[in-house]
């Protein structure tokens, strides 16, 4: 069979991940210290695992309603009110297969071929790809270290055209750790208020915001009615493998997303949904405990990186540091490959997250302190040999 000419043009045009090859090499090598992962190193808290097991014991192995178990959706609305002062009703809530599916549903609900979707960069690799799959055009907006990787009103305004349909608002940000505090949201809201642009706010890292609580863009006047908030259990509850997320937004949008969801996925995994009910009911304290631990590692890692001469802005959220490697004169990929081969430390080249990530690397601190200290010692030795 001729596969190459058989594939859809859109699927064939998707850029393969160059990083995959890099990490395949890293995985083959012995004694490599990886700082590459994008998920918690904690295990899912026991009471959540137990709730999943109990649901299996009771034979709850059927599909749920498309939008998810009502009890879980109810808990999600309580949680958002309790933790972030966000008000949503049951019909404005849908349970998805990870935050990723929420992103996909939202993009597919809005984007027509030819529509432009604004994507602040560097950012999570899936946004641009999903937009492309929907036939839209992802338009990057570069965020900069001197702005602490925030989206600025000026940059947003400059990127808007008559074709702009949707803004992806990914804060706290992977890979930069940039956050948008309450005082930064108003200027963004002011730009959007008189437009018809919708917003996909990816708040998956909201619980991992340091030095103050996360504030949703929906808190600003005129924003709630145009915004879909996508979040999930992966990062806050260390539940990546359970593949469970949710989205909240205006009911017509959630209805549209649910229509796509029922054909594509039908419903999120039932076991995961039962586990997640327990997560939302009784794990606030454990979420905070994990966030405190990340915070210590964050402060330590940034301190260590700056001390060895890799200039690093102090990230305000998520679990990544994004130091500049420009002082070495190497490209991001050269830096990562040389570091891997000479010192056996794997970090992610910044340009994996968009062209504007060139000159940076992403270092995850979802590792034990001992692991981080050892890795930074190796990076320091590497820098000295350059």
* Chain residues in the site for other proteins (CB under 8 A): 17, 19, 23, 34, 36-39, 41, 124-125, 174-175, 240, 296-297, 299-300, 302-304, 348, 352-353, 369-370, 373
The string of DSSP letters for 182-249 reads: HHHHHHHHHHHHTS--EEEEE-TTTTSB-SS----GGGSTTTGGGEEEEEESTTTTT-GGG--EEEE-
For residues 281 and 74, what is the distance between their CA atoms, to the nearest angstrom?
A: 11
Contact by Cβ (8 Å): 386, 57: no
Cβ 315 to other proteins, closest distance in Å? 14
Closest CA to 52 of 334, 273, 291: 273
Nearest to 174 by CA among 143, 132, 213, 153: 143
Nearer to other proteins, 81 or 292 (CB): 292
122 vs 249 by CB, closer to other proteins:
122
CB closer to other proteins, 57 vs 370? 370
CA–CA distance, 169 with 180 (Å, rounded to integer): 10
CA distance 100 to 107: 11
CB of 253 to other proteins, least distance (A): 27
Q: How far is the CB of 46 from other proteins (least distance, A)?
A: 15
> How far is 173 from 179, CA to CA, in rounded Å?
6
247 exposed, middle or buried (CB, 10 Å; 0-12, 13-18, 19+)? buried
Tokens of residue 266, six digits:
């039908």
What H or E segment, with its residue span, contains residue 119? strand 116-121
| Comparison of 253 and 348: residue with beta carbon closer to other proteins | 348
Q: Could you tell me the smallest distance in angstroms from the CB atom of residue 92 to other proteins?
A: 29
The dihedral region occupied by 59, where left means phi > 0, alpha psi between -120 and 50, and beta the remainder, is left
Q: How far is the CB of 298 from other proteins (least distance, A)?
A: 9
Neighbours of 262 (CB within 10 A): 13
Q: What is the nearest approach in angstroms of other proteins to the Cβ of residue 33?
A: 10
Q: Which is nearer to other proteins, 216 or 364 (CB)?
A: 364
Nearer to other proteins, 71 or 125 (CB): 125
Tell me how far, at minimum, the Cβ of 19 lies from other proteins, in Å. Answer: 6
- Which residue number, 88 or 365, has a Cβ lying nearer to other proteins? 365
Which of 123/164 has CB closer to other proteins? 123
Q: Which residue, 216 or 231, has its beta carbon nearer to other proteins?
A: 231
For residue 359, the minimal CB distance to other proteins (Å) is 17
**Ordered alpha helix ranges (H), 247-368:** 251-264, 270-282, 284-307, 332-343
What phi, psi does 342 have (nearest 5°)? -90, -35
Q: For the CB of residue 146, give the shortest distance to other proteins in the complex, in Å.
A: 23
CA–CA dist 193, 186 (Å, integer)? 10
């Amino acid at each position: 069979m001729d596969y190459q000419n058989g594939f859809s043009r859109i699927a064939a045009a998707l850029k393969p991940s160059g990083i995959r090859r890099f990490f395949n090499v890293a995985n083959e090598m012995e004694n490599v210290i990886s700082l590459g992962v994008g998920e918690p190193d904690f295990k899912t808290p026991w009471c959540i695992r137990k709730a999943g097991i109990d649901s299996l014991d009771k034979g709850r192995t059927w599909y749920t309603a498309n939008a998810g178990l009502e009890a879980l959706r109810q808990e999600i609305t309580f949680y958002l009110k309790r933790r972030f002062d966000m008000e949503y009703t049951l019909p404005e809530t849908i349970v998805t297969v990870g935050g990723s599916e929420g992103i996909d549903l939202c993009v597919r609900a809005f984007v027509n071929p030819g529509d432009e979707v604004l994507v602040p960069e560097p950012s999570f690799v899936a946004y641009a790809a999903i937009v492309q799959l929907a036939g839209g055009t992802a338009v990057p907006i570069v965020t900069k270290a001197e702005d602490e990787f925030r989206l600025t009103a000026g940059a947003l305004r400059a990127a808007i055209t008559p074709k702009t349909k949707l803004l992806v608002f990914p804060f706290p940000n992977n890979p930069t750790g940039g956050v948008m505090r309450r005082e930064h949201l108003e200027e963004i809201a002011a730009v959007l208020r008189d437009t018809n642009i919708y917003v996909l706010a990816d708040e998956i890292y909201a619980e991992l915001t340091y030095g103050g609580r996360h504030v949703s863009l929906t808190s600003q006047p005129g924003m709630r009615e145009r915004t879909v908030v996508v979040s999930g259990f992966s990062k806050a509850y260390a539940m990546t493998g359970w593949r469970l997320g949710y989205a909240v937004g205006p009911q017509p949008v959630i209805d549209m997303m649910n229509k796509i969801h029922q054909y594509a996925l039908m419903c999120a995994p039932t076991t995961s949904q039962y586990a997640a009910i327990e997560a939302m009911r009784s794990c606030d304290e454990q979420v905070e405990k994990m966030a405190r631990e990340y915070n210590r590692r964050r402060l330590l890692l940034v301190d260590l990186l700056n001390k060895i001469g890799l200039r690093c802005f102090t990230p305000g959220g998520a679990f990544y540091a994004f130091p500049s490697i420009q002082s070495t004169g190497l490209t991001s990929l050269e830096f990562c490959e040389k570091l891997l081969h000479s010192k056996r430390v794997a970090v992610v080249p910044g340009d994996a997250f968009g062209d504007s990530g060139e000159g940076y690397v992403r270092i995850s601190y979802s590792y034990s302190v001992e692991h981080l200290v050892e890795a930074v010692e190796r990076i320091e030795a590497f820098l000295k040999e350059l």
